[in-house]
């Protein structure tokens, strides 16, 4: 028979054990997984807000189907207006007040940089950040921070190699956004060309996102006599550059980045005829491309958008991005099983072997390991024929 | 040399857009002695209305006309409902209201029409005018439109009794009221006209810069620089300033200071003019008796 003292001790021990369990797995209860995110729903980058909306819709659908291993996903996505100080504030709110298990797909290079130290000091997984900046795939220094898409330097390096192979005597002009995003392309291009060929870049001109147009920069670049034109720009400015370079009668081989390859939101505004001949590298499927009409992955995506989003979102490349990312996240959570401690979530997120996603190009696989923090490293070149993208060559690894 | 002409031409075309936007700023400044920071977002929203009408099968000029009228009415309503209650409040309160308005219109446009860039039709389609190689038909057209708008604004203030009444209401509300001018309505009218002019600016800008909720941000900054340069109480000055800023921006960016500090040129113009000649090149100095 247990005496009073023994009873109290064991009760305390039990309480302590439960307590320890809860401390081990913040944001997790028997019925719920709490996930946090910051996203620019307002401000200059608000077009990306569709990513957060898509992910929320996907998790909602998963919950309606019974959740992940019996737990419901409670996805808290807060607006940071693409402003780093706000990101820090919202992230602390998510971690300290909401007590989320981890952060998933927070968007933007500056916002993610602002919270990276905080996440790593406190051991909060900052998973699959929505930016292509190379700095987020650095397991040696930032173990809790994980990238997602091929980084900008990788892509630009692929362009550099392609230019060397097809036009070894090219004179290259570069239009780049004057921030980390644009400069990564310049760095990657130089790396892809190699030190011996860095001189092939005859002119680089930058623009600020607050400028109305880049017409003046494109004119200046054409004046340099270049015969290859790399457009490292966000959608609106890419569309302007594509149109202006055509209108100027500039007969250069033009490369655009995978940020700006959407037919509906970039090439159509620029004019499909004016976009003919563009080259880019891609890893995802374009929803406006008729080739995927009967593709199983595309059908799955289309079905999801029709039931859980609005029709306008179908061709939005941000919706496709969010769709892929959310599926990846659910895959990782399933893989965690019942151990949803932060350590195990990170372990499973960095332990993915050859996962294919419905809206990734066939053959492109997601791989992560404790030393590989770049989940998507492969891309394929494609050129625009005036109505759709045509893939060519092999799948390339940067 | 060819490049120089291209730079001049695209500077002139965008300068036309800055000029019309600057005119809209002048309009409200004339009426209230305040700069409307929401002017750009209002213009952007009007442009979305025109775009939406055209998406639904309207002809360009029909959509253009309806949008201008709608914007006029919208401007009057905004003045009556949102701006009027702050008429007696400190200037700062009005400024905050304008900034708030700009956020509201930006968010509303995103909510209703999405954030993706949209192409916007131009009535000046087809071959470049007079066989020139440097300016597209739309660019030439928008320069002409800006001059036409200027002429209309000038004629309105100079030759119509209503224009005279508006000027009186702005410059001496007390006396204007005594001679029977309905000062309150004159302010609302000023807002309506500014919104209508802004709508024209937006519809001229959109084919060049593409339509998206953040379309007018940079344009408003340059237009403001233009208005300050030419004198913010003078329509001619504002138009001159707008064109000057458009051309200077391109030439300085390409040949003098480099693209990286191009945007700063606008800010330097604003500060430089305010320090050296606060009333602008053609502005009248207003001396207030205290």
Q: What is the DSSP string of B226-289?
A: HHHHH-TT-HHHHHHHHHHHHHHHHHIIIIIS-GGGHHHHHHHHHHHHHHH-TT-SSPPPP---
Q: How far apart are the first and last CA of chain A?
A: 69
What is the reported pLDDT for A17?
Answer: 47
What is the value of pTM for the model shown? 0.82
| Alpha-carbon distances of B163 from A346, B181, B193, B204, B278, rounded to whole Å | 69, 11, 11, 25, 25
* CA dihedral over B2, B7, B13, B16, signed as positive or negative: negative
Percent of chain A with pLDDT over 70: 94
DSSP B215: T
Compute the average pLDDT of residues A47-74. 94
Per-residue confidence band for B52, with pLDDT thresholds at 50, 70 and 90: very high
What is the reported pLDDT for A241?
Answer: 96
Per-residue confidence band for B78, with pLDDT thresholds at 50, 70 and 90: very high
Q: CB A247 to CB B118 under 8 A?
A: no
Contacts of A47 in chain B (CB under 8 A): 115-116, 212
Mutation target vs A (from B209, B221, B267; most A CBs, 10 A cutoff): B209
| Alpha-carbon distances of A251 from A248, A275, B15, B93, B138, rounded to whole Å | 9, 12, 28, 54, 23
Among B114, B213, B218, the residue with its CB nearest the CB of A211 is B218
Statement: residue A215 has pLDDT above 80: yes
How high is the mean pLDDT of chain A?
90
**The token pair that represents B116 in the structure block:** 């993706």
Statement: residue B287 has pLDDT above 80: no
Compute the average pLDDT of residues A75-86. 94
Pairing of strands A378-384, A102-104: unpaired
Contacts of A207 in chain B (CB under 8 A): 259
A140-152 pLDDT per residue, tens: 999 999 999 998 9
Phi/psi zone of residue A337: left (φ > 0), alpha (ψ -120 to 50 degrees), beta? left
Pair A381, A395: CB distance under 8 Å: no
The CB-side HSE value for A177 (13 A sphere, CA atoms) comes to 20
Contacts of A270 in chain B (CB under 8 A): 119
Q: CB A213 to CB B253 under 8 A?
A: no
B96-123 pLDDT per residue, tens: 999 999 999 998 998 898 877 888 988 8
Compute the average pLDDT of residues A320-328. 96
Q: CB A216 to CB B11 under 8 A?
A: yes
**The token pair that represents A10 in the structure block:** 């064991």
CA atoms of B205 and B209, how far apart (whole Å): 6
CA atoms of B70 and B75, how far apart (whole Å): 9
CA A389-A394-A396 angle, to 5 degrees, is 95
* Segment (H or E) for B189: helix B183-209
Statement: residue B155 has pLDDT above 80: yes
Mutation target vs A (from B115, B133, B257, B263; most A CBs, 10 A cutoff): B115
Least confident range of A315-324, B3-12, B125-134? B125-134
What is the reported pLDDT for B288?
Answer: 58
Q: CB A47 to CB B10 under 8 A?
A: no
Contacts of A36 (CB under 8 A, 6+ apart): A76, A77, A78, A91, A94, A95, A98, A100, A102, A103, A104
If we measure between CA atoms, which residue out of B75, B68, B73, B74 comes closest to residue B53? B68
DSSP B80: I
**The token pair that represents A147 in the structure block:** 């990238």
What is the reported pLDDT for A45?
Answer: 77
Among B14, B103, B259, the residue with its CB nearest the CB of A213 is B14
Q: Which residue has the higher pLDDT, B88 or A76?
A: A76
What is the reported pLDDT for A43?
Answer: 73
CA atoms of B187 and A181, how far apart (whole Å): 46
Domains identified in chain A and CATH numbers: 13-150+295-377 (3.40.50.2300), 152-282 (3.40.50.2300)
Among B10, B103, B209, the residue with its CB nearest the CB of A216 is B10
**Domain B2-116+133-276 has what CATH class?**
mainly alpha
What is the reported pLDDT for B27?
Answer: 87
CA atoms of A114 and B250, how far apart (whole Å): 35
Compute the average pLDDT of residues B226-236. 88
Per-residue confidence band for A198, with pLDDT thresholds at 50, 70 and 90: confident
Chain B residues near any Cβ of chain A (below 8 Å): 2-3, 6-7, 10-11, 14, 17, 103, 107, 110, 114-119, 136, 205, 208-210, 212-215, 217-219, 221-222, 249-250, 253-254, 259-260, 262-263
Compute the average pLDDT of residues A183-191. 91
Q: CB B260 to CB A248 under 8 A?
A: no
Among A46, A222, A240, the residue with its CB nearest the CB of B210 is A240
Contacts of B110 in chain A (CB under 8 A): 46
Q: Which residue has the higher pLDDT, A253 or B235?
A: A253
Among A206, A223, A269, the residue with its CB nearest the CB of B117 is A269
Compute the average pLDDT of residues B21-50. 91
Tell me, rounded to whole angstroms, the distance of Cα A369 from its chain centroid. Answer: 18
Statement: residue A35 has pLDDT above 60: yes
Cβ neighbourhood burial of B178 (10 Å; 0-12, 13-18, 19+): exposed
* CA dihedral over A133, A136, A140, A141, signed as positive or negative: positive
How high is the mean pLDDT of chain B?
88
CA atoms of B153 and A161, how far apart (whole Å): 57
Q: How far is A177 from chain B (nearest CA, A)?
A: 10
B254-278 pLDDT per residue, tens: 888 877 777 788 888 888 888 888 8
**Residue contacts between A and B (CB atoms, under 8 Å):** 93
Per-residue confidence band for A19, with pLDDT thresholds at 50, 70 and 90: very low
Q: At what angle do helices B183-209 and B216-230 cross, to 10 degrees?
A: 120
If we measure between CA atoms, which residue out of B86, B289, B110 comes closest to residue B214? B110
Q: Which residue has the higher pLDDT, B5 or A355?
A: A355
Per-residue confidence band for A24, with pLDDT thresholds at 50, 70 and 90: confident
Q: Which residue has the higher pLDDT, A182 or A16?
A: A182
Contacts of B250 in chain A (CB under 8 A): 216
B250-260 pLDDT per residue, tens: 888 888 887 77
Statement: residue A170 has pLDDT above 90: yes
Statement: residue A47 has pLDDT above 90: no
Mutation target vs B (from A211, A221, A268; most B CBs, 10 A cutoff): A211
Pair B6, B136: CB distance under 8 Å: no
CA atoms of A282 and A286, how far apart (whole Å): 9
Residue of B nearest to A175 (CA): B259
Pairing of strands A32-39, A72-79: parallel
Q: Where are the domains of chain B?
A: 2-116+133-276
Per-residue confidence band for A239, with pLDDT thresholds at 50, 70 and 90: very high
């Amino acid at each position: 028979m247990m005496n009073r003292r023994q009873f109290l001790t064991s009760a305390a021990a039990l309480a302590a054990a439960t307590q320890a369990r809860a401390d081990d797995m913040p944001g997790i209860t028997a019925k719920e997984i709490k996930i946090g995110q910051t996203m620019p729903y307002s401000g200059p980058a608000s077009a990306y807000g569709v990513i957060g909306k898509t992910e929320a819709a996907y998790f909602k659908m998963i919950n309606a189907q019974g959740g992940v291993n019996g737990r419901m996903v409670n996805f808290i996505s807060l607006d940071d207006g693409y402003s780093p100080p706000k990101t820090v504030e919202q992230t602390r709110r998510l971690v300290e007040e909401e007590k989320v298990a981890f952060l998933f797909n927070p968007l933007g290079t500056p916002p993610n940089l602002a919270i990276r130290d905080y996440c790593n000091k406190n051991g909060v997984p900052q998973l699959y950040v929505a930016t292509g900046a190379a700095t987020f795939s650095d397991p040696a220094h930032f173990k809790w921070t994980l990238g997602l898409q091929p980084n900008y330097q990788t892509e630009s390096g692929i362009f550099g190699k392609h230019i060397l192979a097809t036009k070894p005597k090219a004179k290259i002009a570069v239009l780049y956004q004057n921030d980390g995003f644009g400069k990564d392309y310049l760095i990657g291009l130089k790396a892809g060309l190699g030190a011996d060929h860095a001189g092939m870049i005859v002119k680089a001109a930058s623009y600020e996102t607050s400028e109305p147009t880049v017409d003046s920069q494109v004119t200046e670049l054409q004046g340099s006599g270049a015969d290859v034109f790399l457009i490292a720009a966000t959608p609106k400015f890419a569309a302007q550059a594509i149109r202006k370079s055509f209108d100027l009668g500039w007969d250069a081989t033009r490369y655009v980045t995978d940020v700006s390859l959407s037919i509906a939101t970039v090439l159509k505004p620029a004019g499909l005829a004016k976009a003919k001949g563009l080259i880019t590298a891609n890893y995802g499927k374009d929803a406006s491309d008729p080739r995927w009409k009967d593709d199983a992955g595309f059908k799955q995506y289309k079905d999801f958008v029709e039931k859980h989003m609005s029709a306008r979102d179908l061709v939005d490349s941000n919706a496709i991005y969010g769709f892929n990312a959310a599926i990846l996240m659910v895959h990782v959570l399933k893989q965690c099983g019942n151990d949803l401690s932060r350590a195990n979530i990170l372990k499973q997120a960095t332990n993915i072997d050859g996962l294919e996603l419905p809206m990734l190009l066939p053959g492109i696989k997601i791989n992560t390991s404790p030393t590989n923090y770049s989940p998507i490293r492969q891309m394929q070149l494609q050129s625009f024929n005036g109505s759709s993208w045509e893939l060519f060559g092999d799948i390339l690894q940067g | 040399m060819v490049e120089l002409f291209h730079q001049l031409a695209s500077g002139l075309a965008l300068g036309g857009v800055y000029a019309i936007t600057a005119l809209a700023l002048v309009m409200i400044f004339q009426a209230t002695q305040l700069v409307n920071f929401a002017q750009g977002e209002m213009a952007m929203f009007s442009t979305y209305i025109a775009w939406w009408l055209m998406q639904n099968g309207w002809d360009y000029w029909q959509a253009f006309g309806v949008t201008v009228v709608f914007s006029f009415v919208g401007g009057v309503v905004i003045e009556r409902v949102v701006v009027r209650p702050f008429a007696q409040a400190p200037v700062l309160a009005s400024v905050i209201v304008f900034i708030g308005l700009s956020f509201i219109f930006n968010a509303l446009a995103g909510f209703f029409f999405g954030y993706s860039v949209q192409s916007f039709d131009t009535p000046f389609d087809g071959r470049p005018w007079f066989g020139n190689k440097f300016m597209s038909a739309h660019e030439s057209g928008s320069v002409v439109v800006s001059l036409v708008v200027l002429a209309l604004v000038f004629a309105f203030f100079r030759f119509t009794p209503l224009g005279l009444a508006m000027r009186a209401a702005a410059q001496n509300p007390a006396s204007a009221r005594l001679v029977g001018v309905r000062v309150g309505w004159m302010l609302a009218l000023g807002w309506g006209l500014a919104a209508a002019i802004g709508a024209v600016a937006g519809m001229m800008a959109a084919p060049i810069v593409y339509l998206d909720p953040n379309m007018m941000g940079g344009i408003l900054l340059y237009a403001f620089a233009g208005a300050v340069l030419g004198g913010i109480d003078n329509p001619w000055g504002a138009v001159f300033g707008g064109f000057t800023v458009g051309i200077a921006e391109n030439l300085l960016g390409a040949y003098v200071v480099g693209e990286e500090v191009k945007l700063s040129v606008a800010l330097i113009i604003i500060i430089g003019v305010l320090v050296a000649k606060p009333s602008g090149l053609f502005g009248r100095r207003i001396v207030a008796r205290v």
